[in-house]
Amino acid sequence: MILYPIQKNWKYLAPIIAKVPGRLLKLGAGVFVQFQKKEMMGDKLPKRIVLFVTKKCNLKCRHCFYIPNVSSEREMSLNQIQKIADSAKNSLSQIIFTGGEPFARKDFFEIVLSFVKKGCKTVNVITNGTMPEKVRLFLDKMLKETRVQLIFMVSVDGPQEIHDKIRAVPGSFRKTIETLALLSDYYQKYPKRFGNVFASTTVSKLNLAYLPQTIAQIKTFKNIHHSFSFARSADLHTIGVKKEYLSGFDVDNGIILDINKMKEALEYLDKEFWNKNPSLFSLINRQVMIETVKILEKKATNFTCIAGKSEIIIYPEGDVGICEMLKPVGNLDETDYDLVKFYQNHRNRFQAKKSCRCTHDCALLSSIRFSPESLVEIIKHAQ
């Protein structure tokens, strides 16, 4: 992906970009968007998919909108997932593997390998980090048997007491920190094989007051970026869509920050984190959170959502959707798990409505990367 080499050389590129005149900056942002389109939008289907490999999870996080689904045993078999990979041969540049907890599946490596063998170049794993030994085995196999780029995102939601309280499992923090240390070591040994490793914090009423301690904890690791997002709900954080079209992925409203508290979090992160850690991904993460507040406050954005064009969602049972905020379009069993055929059959339904606005991080991130105006705003802040 074009962003990762830019990120790794950002400290050299940023001073150069800072000297670029405004008009040239806008032109450059437009060119960058064209590169992004080529990288993420394919002829047959989007080049990036988010694959929920399982509903199973060993935690019960308070902010998780997927909790009501984790008890369900229904999930695609390895054979069905391999059919998806076969159908999308040489069509995917990146897959984000999530859940549930991906490492709860015994065949997770085989699932990933199915897509790697069919041409996927970047593997992105979102994990709660509570299974460090499984992560180690996975990394050893990936490094030995593949040449793909690896990205990891590990959830960390506070200092030990707060993290374990939010996760509802004592001892989960210790395991997660062990996984971060492991990933930091592997990144240091194999820097060319990693795009990035992130510690991801979901900010809510449960941990807002503990941001300083959380940031300090992550700073102790080398090669670990820290990203943030707000706890969200399809019902509260989707605008311009009738409720019958929403996914129902909601959480306890009592833990979600109101707009004033979100602004308070942004002000703190701006002063104490982003301005002190001016990496490219920190700047992009900052913009995503700023846009989140704008959407909720003004009910509008200055860019068009490209969910369904830049990426699609596949759930454990084979349902396929535009984004996590909306109900699925259908199920892959109708095309015997041929993803390309399914996408072509429903292509018109994978266009986000112009009136649709939401705070889904992945969709916001993609839309910002396709917006020259947003990119210029990011660069101006870097200056």
* DSSP per-residue letters across 290-354: HHHHHHHHHS--SS---TTTSEEEE-TTSEEES-TTB--SEEGGGGTT-HHHHHHHTGGGGS--T
CATH value of 3-382 in 3.30.70.20, 3.40.47.10, 1.10.10.60, 3.20.20.70: 3.20.20.70
Q: State both tokens at 379.
A: 């660069």
- Looking at residue 11, its pLDDT comes to 63
pLDDT of 291: 86
Q: What token pair was written down for 337? A: 């798990």
DSSP-derived 3-state class of residue 277:
coil
The C-alpha atoms of residue 224 and residue 1 are separated, in whole angstroms, by: 19
Q: What is the pLDDT of residue 49?
A: 94
Burial of residue 34 (number of CB atoms within 10 Å: 0-12, 13-18, 19+): exposed
Residue type, 112: V
Instruction: Say what the pLDDT of residue 382 is.
Output: 61
Instruction: Extract the tokens encoding 273.
Output: 């984190």
Rounded Cα gap, residues 210 and 29, in angstroms: 36
Angle, helix 361-369 to helix 372-382, in steps of 10 degrees: 90
Please report, in tens digits, the pLDDT of each residue of the chain (383 residues total). 555 566 666 665 666 666 676 777 777 777 776 766 666 677 789 888 999 999 999 998 887 766 665 555 789 999 999 999 999 999 999 999 999 999 999 999 999 999 999 999 999 999 999 999 999 999 999 999 999 999 999 999 999 999 999 999 999 999 999 999 999 999 999 999 999 999 999 999 999 999 999 999 999 999 999 999 998 776 666 666 666 666 656 566 688 899 999 999 999 999 999 988 878 888 889 988 888 888 888 776 667 777 777 789 999 999 999 887 778 899 999 999 999 999 999 887 766 555 666 666 667 777 777 777 777 777 766 65
The rounded distance, in Å, linking the Cα atoms of 27 and 239 is 31
| pLDDT on residue 191 | 94
Residue with tokens 């020259």: 372
Q: What is the pLDDT of residue 97?
A: 98
Q: Which residue has the tokens 């979090």?
A: 265
> Which residues are CB-neighbours of 99 under 8 A, at least 6 positions away?
52, 53, 54, 55, 56, 57, 66, 105, 126, 316
Strand partners, 321: 313
Residue where the block lists tokens 């954080």: 237
Q: Which amino acid is at 58?
A: N
Name the pTM for this structure.
Answer: 0.88
348 CB contacts (<8 Å, ≥6 apart)? none
